[in-house]
Chain A
Amino acid sequence: MGKKVALTGNEAAAHAIRQIEPDVIAAFPITPSTPIPQAVAQFIADGEMDTELVTVESEHSAMSACIGAAAAGGRVMTATSANGYALMWEMLYIASGMRLPIVMAVVARALSAPLNIHGDHSDIMGGRDTGWIQIIAENSQEAYDGLIQAVKIAENKDVMTPALVAMDGFNISHAIEIWEMEDDKAVKDFIGEYKPLFPLLNTDDPVTHGAWAPPNWYFEHKMSQLKGLLAAKDVVAKVGKEFGEVFGREYGLYEAYKLDDAELVIVAAGSVCGTTKDVVDKLREEGQKVGLLKIRLFRPFPYKELADALQSAKAIAILDRVSPAGAQGGPLFNEIRSALYDTPTRAPIINYTYGLGGRDTQPIHINSVFDRLKKIVETGKIEKQFDCLNLRGEWR
């Protein structure tokens, strides 16, 4: 049986890593994820886990060390944030292209400039096309549970693709919450033993990793890689269900919160979903048909399932914790709107950017989103397709 603990999101991630006990963990500090490798280093020093800690001089090197260790045949993990994650960018492609099931905790944070160390989704959204599985957590419990599941998902023989579990910087990483920590042994039993496919260290069966592929090979390999990433969708659902059977907390591709008959729907990912659920509860008490679609799996993007879940909506607002950067709306908006194009329900759909660089998003702001959706349904008109929450001055 698990036990209730009051610890931060970073500590939740560190305990998950301790229990997973990977062969190798690469460590390079960056706020707000620094406490993760710090705690893991302490666990190792105290003899609580038997893992090789590789201290490196940059995040680029951290991911490189992970790639080398994973190609050698090890179970490998690391953690990072923001500019560190961005510095890994090149190596993230190499990890996924080589089909190495590395698991990483990303404490999501704003990217410079101006310099800001607080939470938003600029980092993970910037790396959304690197071929990694991306799972986004709402709170410490989901960060902990997600990391354990990620190991099993990434190492599935049909998947063999690296996975990251993201949690919001500070909102989750530094906030103390009560969550349930499972038994060490139960976690180890759940993830099982890792049998690498082509370990470099197996000298009886020599193999080349990281060879070049000329134009008559590269395309085939990239599509084979894509198949592995896409296969993760079913595996995420399967592992989420198994996790529920063992630990009592079941996970799917997304979470439908009071969505069944919801007409006014917010789609969001991460810690803002907690606030949104509170608002949904209040408005439901008033008899309003409101709901939340919480994104859990962002890559591969389960567009069909998400579109199906939105069919009762009469108006939808997508919250992106990142600037659209010149696109027609944020990344989540683009994905959801594209997913709905093929469905009979073409509910009006609007986009908000919120929470950049750690800006607060409170119930009053979520309420304003539902008010706007209500108005759209009443008037049949979208006055603003894109807007901002809690920005000083009106966005125009």
Chain B
Amino acid sequence: MSEKLLNWDEVLIGGAIKDPGNSKNYETGSWRVERPVWNPDTCIQCMFCWVYCPDSSILTNEEGKMIGIDYDHCKGCGICVEQCPSKPKSLKMVLEAEAKGKTEEELRKEVFSK
């Protein structure tokens, strides 16, 4: 959020918002303590995670298939992991601190090899 914020005499009356959908710009992902990591190899594309995610943070492609997680908005609640029915589960939570600085690929290997 690098754009200049409005002064008190520039804000819209009553806190109304004229550009719908601007909550997209608000990165709720910064609150996260743990993050879900996805394993495409065992995922059965049931889309339970997509249905249950309270933050619309499950990413999909044009065919409606699960393709990953939107870490800008995922708050790390773990509901997707709880709901994932595949055996073994295709989503696992890891500590954010441990995930930092690692690529998606490295993380996946680490988490799902255990």
Residues of A within 8 A of B (CB): 97-100, 160, 197-198, 205-211, 213-214, 216-217, 219-221, 223-225, 227-228
Contact = CB atoms under 8 A, between A and B. Distances in A.
A220 B26 CA distance: 18
B15 A197 contact: no
Interface in B1-34: 5-9, 11, 13-18, 20, 23, 26
B11 A217 contact: yes
Contact of A206 (B13, B14, B20, B23): B20
Give the size category of B's interface with A: 10 to 19
Contact of B14 (A100, A205, A214, A216): A100
Interface of B: 5-9, 11, 13-18, 20, 23, 26
Given A216-B5, A219-B8, A220-B8, A207 B18 contact: yes
Most chain A Cβ neighbours within 10 Å, of B5, B9, B17, B18: B17
Nearest to A225: B14
A99 B17 contact: no
B14 A99 contact: yes
Given A216-B5, A223-B8, A207 B17 contact: yes
A229 to B, nearest CB: 12
A224 B16 contact: no
25 contacts: A97-B14, A98-B14, A160-B13, A160-B14, A197-B14, A197-B16, A198-B13, A198-B16, A208-B16, A209-B16, A211-B15, A214-B26, A216-B5, A217-B5, A217-B15, A220-B5, A220-B8, A221-B8, A221-B11, A221-B14, A221-B15, A224-B9, A224-B11, A225-B14, A227-B8
Most chain B Cβ neighbours within 10 Å, of A205, A210, A219, A221: A221
Nearest to A216: B5
A211 B23 CA distance: 10
B71 to A, nearest CB: 20
Contacts of A208: 16-17, 20
